[in-house]
Amino acid sequence: MLSYVSTRGRAPRLGFADTTLAGLANDGGLYVPDICPKLSEAELGNMSSQNYLEIAWRVLLPFVADDIPSEDLIRILQKSYKTFNTKEVAPLHELKTNFYVQELFHGPTLAFKDVALQFLGNLFDYILEKKKTRVTIVGATSGDTGSAAIEAFRGKDTADIFILHPHNRVSEVQRRQMTTVLDANVHNIAIDGSFDDCQDLVKAMFNDATFRDDLRLSAVNSINWARILAQVVYYIYAGVRVLDKTGRPATFCVPTGNFGNVYAGYVAQSMGLSVEKFLVATNRNDILHRFFSTGRMKADGVERSLSPSMDIQVSSNFERLLFDLFGRKGEAVDQTMQHFRKAGPFHLEDGVMNPLRRLFGSGKVDDARTLAVIKSTYEKYNYILDPHTAVGVGVAEDYQAANPDSVIVSLATAHPAKFPAAVKQAIGIEPPLPDHLADLYQRQERYQVLPNDLAKVQAFVRAGIRK
């Protein structure tokens, strides 16, 4: 039966439920399935006429193995995606012939993280209820992840959630998406400090063993395997439809930060989906573009851009791909990652990079070009892109110009109304919020401002959990 192993090779093998609750492996690695389940060509062919939930159920079933009975998995999926404002969940929008935008922003917080976190919230709830236990979720956010996590866990009896954001340093839409959620188990903390301060506070809470165990702390960050798994589904949903319609495998273009999204595409391909290429799209923080161009992984400082959710230095999920590149030898991954942390850059040989480049391409779009892409797309196709999606569309347009036969699926990772300032700068229009958030600016907010002080934050968390 399928089980999960750590990319560093020293953590215990776990089943699906324990992998989900663990998040990070205790040897510092990330969990991956020991074998990748396959879909037959016939099954994939049938999927072009199946709806999103049917595909999700079929794709996820082998991964959850014996931990979730089939009927329960269906119920969890139904519950997770009924919060989306379209039954299709991740619809394809044809921008022009052989160029699709896949809209992943129809969830409650208008960003693609909802696809994974809505599922993760219900999954945690299901597993914890079975185990008759509860957790305290603690996380730091610079914007998108916090609101998606809060929406995923609001009102759940099995979890209290505390999200730290830097006071006055997130946009008003982002803050209100978090602070207007008034459920009793939701706690927003605005820290007088930076996002890094928030992250350091969260780390320190996890490193305090007494605190961690007393409160049963848990995290839902982007390395959680179940988040990746939920994202595999939309690649298959889009890939089989595009193949059916055009007769060609899709080239997926993915606005990339932590590499979680594009790695999910790689899993879809490993399961049997035909894919022409994955394009890793970066903004000015281009560590991954430089890596795919040169084979050298070297971190630089992070600079602010118009696509803040991609302002990332080290892409944690890349380690999962590295595990496969190293022939699934945990020891080799461990050595490379230790070296990367302590000493700095690593370099992969052509023998490894050349096959990798057959499947992955990359590109970079700076802020000026991001604005130009939003403008030209609006003028030509009357369609408004958010700045993250625009980075992807820019990279995809370059690729298609050089590869005219390609069929593009460019992932739209956020709704334009989530980043109104950048959109306004590009086209002079502020995109309206969708109906379910139309009154966001009138809603009541609740949050606690706290100093950058571990003891004070811990005291607040202790006092806030439901006994």
Question: Does residue 225 belong to the site contacting ligand PLP (CB under 6 A)?
Answer: no
Cα distance between residue 277 and residue 361, in whole Å: 7
Classify 112 as helix, strand or coil: coil
Classify 442 as helix, strand or coil: helix
Interface stretch with ligand PLP, choices 47-55, 81-89, 162-170, 259-267 (CB under 6 A): 259-267
C-alpha 47: how far from chain center: 24
Cβ-defined contacts of 290-296 (< 8 Å, 24+): 291/362, 292/356, 292/357, 292/360, 292/361, 292/362, 293/362, 295/347, 295/348, 295/349, 295/350, 295/352, 295/353, 296/345, 296/346, 296/347, 296/348
Q: Which residue number, 233 or 310, has a Cβ lying nearer to ligand PLP? A: 310
Hey, which residues between 99 and 118 contact ligand PLP (CB under 6 A)? 111, 113
Q: How far is the CB of 231 from ligand PLP (least distance, A)?
A: 8
Q: How far is the CB of 460 from ligand PLP (least distance, A)?
A: 27
Neighbouring CB atoms inside 10 A of 338's CB total 12
Token pair for 211 = 């605190």
**Catalytic residue status for 113:** yes
- β pairing state of 92-96 and 186-192: unpaired
Q: Which residue number, 314 or 332, has a Cβ lying nearer to ligand PLP? A: 314
Contact (CB, 8 A) for 465 and 205 = no
Question: Does residue 309 belong to the site contacting ligand PLP (CB under 6 A)?
Answer: yes
Q: How far is the CB of 116 from ligand PLP (least distance, A)?
A: 9
Hey, which residues between 42 and 101 contact ligand PLP (CB under 6 A)? none
Question: Does residue 259 belong to the site contacting ligand PLP (CB under 6 A)?
Answer: yes
Cα distance between residue 88 and residue 82, in whole Å: 10
Contact (CB, 8 A) for 29 and 223 = no
User: Using the rule CB under 6 A, which residue among 144, 151, 334, 398 binds ligand PLP?
Assistant: 144
Q: How far is the CB of 359 from ligand PLP (least distance, A)?
A: 17
Question: Does residue 427 belong to the site contacting ligand PLP (CB under 6 A)?
Answer: no
Interface stretch with ligand PLP, choices 21-29, 70-78, 243-251, 257-265 (CB under 6 A): 257-265
- Residue (of 110, 7, 17) closest to 320 by Cα position: 7
Question: Does residue 265 belong to the site contacting ligand PLP (CB under 6 A)?
Answer: no
Question: Does residue 258 belong to the site contacting ligand PLP (CB under 6 A)?
Answer: yes
Cα distance between residue 314 and residue 301, in whole Å: 10
Q: How far is the CB of 255 from ligand PLP (least distance, A)?
A: 5
User: Using the rule CB under 6 A, which residue among 39, 414, 423, 437 binds ligand PLP?
Assistant: 414
Q: Where are the alpha helices (DSSP H) in 65-171?
A: 70-81, 113-131, 144-153
Question: Does residue 256 belong to the site contacting ligand PLP (CB under 6 A)?
Answer: yes
User: Using the rule CB under 6 A, which residue among 255, 361, 363, 394 binds ligand PLP?
Assistant: 255
Question: Does residue 241 belong to the site contacting ligand PLP (CB under 6 A)?
Answer: no
Question: Does residue 257 belong to the site contacting ligand PLP (CB under 6 A)?
Answer: yes
Judged by CB under 6 A, how many residues of this single chain contact ligand PLP?
Answer: 16
Cα distance between residue 416 and residue 433, in whole Å: 9
Token pair for 427 = 């086209």
User: Which H or E element spans position 134?
Assistant: none
Q: Which of 38, 82, 96, 113 is catalytic?
A: 113
Cα distance between residue 371 and residue 286, in whole Å: 18
- Residue 26 CB-density burial (10 A; 0-12 exposed, 13-18 middle, 19+ buried): exposed
Question: Does residue 275 belong to the site contacting ligand PLP (CB under 6 A)?
Answer: no
Q: How far is the CB of 93 from ligand PLP (least distance, A)?
A: 16
What b/e sequence results for 282-311 when a residue is b if at least 16 CB atoms lie within 10 Å of its CB, and e otherwise? bbbbbbbbbbbeebebeeeeeeebbbbbbb
Q: Which residue number, 258 or 410, has a Cβ lying nearer to ligand PLP? A: 258
User: Using the rule CB under 6 A, which residue among 306, 388, 394, 420 binds ligand PLP?
Assistant: 388
User: Using the rule CB under 6 A, which residue among 152, 297, 310, 437 binds ligand PLP?
Assistant: 310
Interface stretch with ligand PLP, choices 254-262, 269-277, 369-377, 394-402 (CB under 6 A): 254-262
Question: Does residue 20 belong to the site contacting ligand PLP (CB under 6 A)?
Answer: no
Interface stretch with ligand PLP, choices 129-137, 256-264, 336-344, 431-439 (CB under 6 A): 256-264
Cα distance between residue 462 and residue 108, in whole Å: 29
Q: Which residue number, 260 or 363, has a Cβ lying nearer to ligand PLP? A: 260
Q: How far is the CB of 132 from ligand PLP (least distance, A)?
A: 33
Q: How far is the CB of 413 from ligand PLP (least distance, A)?
A: 3
Q: Which residue number, 122 or 141, has a Cβ lying nearer to ligand PLP? A: 141
Contacts of 327 (CB under 8 A, 6+ apart): none
Q: Which residue number, 184 or 421, has a Cβ lying nearer to ligand PLP? A: 421
Q: How far from each other are the two terminal CA atoms of the chain, in whole angstroms?
A: 38
Q: Where are the alpha helices (DSSP H) in 180-329?
A: 195-207, 209-215, 225-246, 260-270, 287-294, 318-325
Binding residues for ligand PLP (CB under 6 A): 111, 113, 144, 222, 255-261, 309-310, 388, 413-414
Which residues are known to be catalytic? 113
